[in-house]
Structure 1
Amino acid sequence: MRVAVVRTFGGPEAVEVVEHELPEPGARRVRIKVAAAALNPVDLGVRGGFFGGAGKDIGLGWDVAGTVDAVGAGSLWNVGDQVVALYHGLTKDLGTHAEYVVVDTDAVAKAPATVDAIHAATLPLNALTAVQALDLLELTEGQSLLVAGAAGAVGGFAVQLAASRGVLVTGLARARDEEFVRSLGAAEFTTAGVARGFDAVLDTAVLGETALEWVRDGGAYVGVRPGAHPGSVRGVRTASVSVEADGARLAELAGLVDEGVLTLRVAETYTLDAVAKAHARLEEGGVRGRLVLVP
């Protein structure tokens, strides 16, 4: 099978598509024939050596949508099931940017029924990050939340999820994104000049201490770079989300797609052979929605 790997850290040209032996699923694992796999900023970080792993082939890709192709003993799935999954890991040997991928059975969920595989592939990493970040914030109905980076992939999911729970969401993004962010459910919108007073801030824009200043005394702040959140001040509880694979939670999110609560955005699609071009496009910036690889 073909798989995208990094052998030498560098720019988009460092990504190679190579032949690899078809992986076999062990106990409580499933093999998925990949129909689509999203490209995320974390893949650029892996390619650039930000997370280490030198000296071996490193597989790329966390998101996958496709069809169960083979199952190991004790798997919860059947051959032919249409599924989505998060394949967690920064320096794994094989990622989802491949023709086939093997993942833990507990990381898999039934794919949304109302969208195609290309759109479904944009769900796992970013939606799980958003919902797990909201779990850390522990907001209740009627409380206020500022989402910094509200037009981005994680931020957009967070706006929709929080608004659906009755949280009063303010979206922080560029002026050109106001209509879109409000369409996701944000009650208010801002581009800058935020005053202190929010019950919580979800900082998907990685603003750090600047965003922390917008939280009221005793509120909560969550960032999206594991371990890189600012320290507590004024009694503000601070943390950062480190996404975990969770098939049961992913199934809930897929259900919200089918209910129309969550919107999936695809910017462009690329063949697996054009993966280097996809990396270059994402690196340019200005992408609204996810770039998706189709083997």
Structure 2
Amino acid sequence: MRAAVVRRFGGPEVLEIASIDVPEIRDHQLLVRVEAAAVNRIDLSTRSGALAEAGLMRPAPVVGLGWDAAGTVEAAGAAVTRFAVGDRVIGLRDRLSAGGAQAEFVALDETALAPAPRSVPAAEASTLPLIGLTADLALRRTGLRAGQTLLVTGAAGGVGGLALELAALRGVRTVADDKSAAATWTVPRGEPAQVRDLVPGGVDAVIDAAVLGVEAHEALRGGGTFVTLVRPFAPPPLRDTRVVVAEVAADGARLTELAALVDAGHLTLGVAATFPLDAVAEAHERLAAGGLRGRLVLTPGVRAARSVNFL
């Protein structure tokens, strides 16, 4: 099969499409024919060597890329009970030692998979696992109840946007640093200090999807909760605050619930552009450039080198 891999770390030029064996599945796993695989910033960090330098991945001669996948079950292990061949599924690969999702096939544990949302195409569905589970976990880490207040930085991004929509479903009042129909209030991007003009004393919690660190912490009330997505950029727990890290993990049961929220019209997924697998380097360059409204997605079944379909 064809798969996006790196054999050495560096810029987008180190990316290649390799011909490797289709992964073998164990009794509790499924083989998924990948129709779409989202490109995430962790892919950029994997390719550049930042994760290896931080000690977050072990050395390997070939490293497969990709965490999110949407596709069709091609084969099921003997112990699988929830899915069958032909089912359309989405899933998250959360172990860097496993094969990447940016490939024609990926093997995933049954517990990492969920039925794909029926209301959106595969490209959109593939964007849900990583950002949806991250946003959901971050919101749960805040411990907020209906009526309390939350600042979400990076509101225009995938995690931030879904965090706002999930918070609204729980009756939490929200402040966003970008325009959002789901937010109660908005402040100018990069100006979290203005939150206190809207919420005297500060918000009850912050989800720092933009990784602003201590700057966003200034908007938090004493004793509040600050949720960071990147451990090295977590601010100190000033003013008796609680600082926690939301480190995503595969969770097929919760992903099933999130997919149902997509089908119910409560969660919004967006795709900025799709790329054939051959154009993975171009996708990395586009993601690194920033300014996207929506996600970038690879389509392994398409073989049109370096062509891009902007949606």
TM range (shorter): over 0.9
Distance 1:238 1:202 in 2: 10
In structure 1, the partner of 2:242 is: 237
Q: Which amino acid aligns with 1:145?
A: L
The superposition leaves residues 232-260 of structure 1 with CA deviations (integer Å, 9 ceiling, x where unpaired) of 12111111110010000000000000000
In structure 2, the partner of 1:31 is: 31
Q: Which amino acid aligns with 1:41?
A: R
1:63-74 matches, within 5 Å, as 63-74=68-79
TM-score under structure 2 normalisation? 0.90
Check if 1:189 corresponds to 2:186. Answer: yes
CA contact (8 A) 1:3 1:94 kept: no
Check if 1:10 corresponds to 2:21. Answer: no
In structure 2, the partner of 1:79 is: 85
Q: After TM superposition, give the deviation of residue 210 of structure 1 in Å.
A: 1.1
CA contact (8 A) 1:84 1:108 kept: yes
Alignment match of 1:170 (pick from 167, 175, 183): 175
Q: Which structure 2 segments of 5+ residues have no match?
A: 53-57, 301-311
TM-score under structure 1 normalisation? 0.95
Distance 1:27 1:216 in 2: 49
Distance 1:12 1:81 in 2: 34
Q: After TM superposition, give the deviation of residue 54 of structure 1 in Å.
A: 3.9
In structure 2, the partner of 1:46 is: 46
| Structure 1 stretch displaced more, 185-194 or 34-43 | 185-194
Compared CA separation, residues 287 and 107, structure 1 to 2 (3 A):
same
| Structure 1 stretch displaced more, 138-147 or 52-61 | 52-61
1:260-279 matches, within 5 Å, as 260-279=265-284
What is the percent sequence identity of the aligned residues? Answer: 48
The superposition leaves residues 124-182 of structure 1 with CA deviations (integer Å, 9 ceiling, x where unpaired) of 00010000011110100000001011111100000000011100011013xxxx2xx1x
Q: Which structure 1 segments of 5+ residues have no match?
A: none
Question: Cα RMSD between the aligned structures?
Answer: 1.1
CA contact (8 A) 2:28 2:78 kept: yes
CA contact (8 A) 1:84 1:111 kept: yes
Compared CA separation, residues 293 and 99, structure 1 to 2 (3 A):
same
| Structure 1 stretch displaced more, 34-43 or 68-77 | 68-77
1:211-290 matches, within 5 Å, as 211-226=216-231, 228-290=233-295
Distance 2:87 2:70 in 1: 11
